[in-house]
Amino acid sequence: MSILHVNQLVARYPGAKTDTLKEISFTVNPADFYAIIGPSGAGKSTLIRCINRLVEPTSGTVRLFDQQITQLPPRQLRQTRRHIGMIFQEFNLVDRMSVMDNVLSGRLGYTSTWRSMLKLFSQADIQRALELLERVGLLEHVDKRADQLSGGQRQRVGIARALMQDPQLLLLDEPTASLDPKIARDVMTLIQQTARDLQIPVLCNIHDVALAKEFCNRILGLQDGRMMFDGETHSMSQQDLDRIYEREVL
């Protein structure tokens, strides 16, 4: 059974004359670490954000475990988003909050507003947050403010926060773009190992083709909103890459 099925997805921003995404279709299976590659402006981030409707698709369908996300009313959409963890390029942490509080914010979808405002998280949530901080190598930084961390450490907090949702799918939007090459590889290794250990499929928008080929088992190539390649990583040829990036200005 597939985890995610995208069918004939089209997205156009208000006021735009052309579609940003043009009839994109693909399927993510349980063991997939799926990369989305392509030149700047190809629609990679838009595609990621259409999955959980941070961007509203114009047409087409997105199904998570056979539930059609594109037709969910707001309340049901909020419930479904609990199961979709997201890791961002710019980390999206609250700088003035501690590492622990940033990680616990991953449980906001499961906690009432007044309990979350008073930081009345359950002992089980606190224990889970500590376990995840240990997994990402930040247990000793639990009480630090987020703005006291390095870029790589901040992204690790973002990973732990996403995992606090107990996600059925992880969406990664350029998770290494703000990191130097060594830290980027370390972060991708952590995500890959964690996703494998916890059996969470991953859909990753990534600008670095070398990292995509190293860590991802499937690749979706976009150019100008069109799908140019969809297949196993080992089957992608240099000719396929040339087609995907033929309009890239160097």
In order along its 250 residues, the chain shows pLDDT tens digits of 789 999 999 999 998 889 999 999 999 999 999 999 999 889 999 999 999 899 999 999 999 887 899 888 888 888 888 889 998 887 788 889 899 999 998 887 665 454 545 566 788 988 999 999 999 999 999 999 999 999 899 999 999 999 998 999 999 999 888 889 999 999 999 999 999 999 999 999 999 999 999 999 999 999 999 999 999 999 999 999 999 998 665 4
Contact at 8 Å (CB) between 164 and 101? no
Distances (CA, A) of 185 to 92, 93, 199, 215: 20, 21, 20, 9
Predicted local confidence at residue 250, as pLDDT: 46
Q: Which amino acid is at 96?
A: R
Beta bridge partners of 173: 88, 205
Count CB atoms within 10 A of the CB of residue 15. 5
Beta bridge partners of 37: 221
Count CB atoms within 10 A of the CB of residue 6. 24
CA 50 to chain CA centroid, Å, is 11
Judging by DSSP bridges, how do beta strands 67-68 and 33-37 pair with one another? unpaired
Q: Please, what is the angle between helix 181-198 and helix 151-163, to 10°?
A: 10
Contact at 8 Å (CB) between 86 and 173? yes
Classify residue 53 by burial, with Cβ atoms within 10 Å: 0-12, 13-18, 19+: middle
Domains and CATH numbers, the chain: 1-83+169-175+201-250 (3.40.50.300)
pTM: 0.88
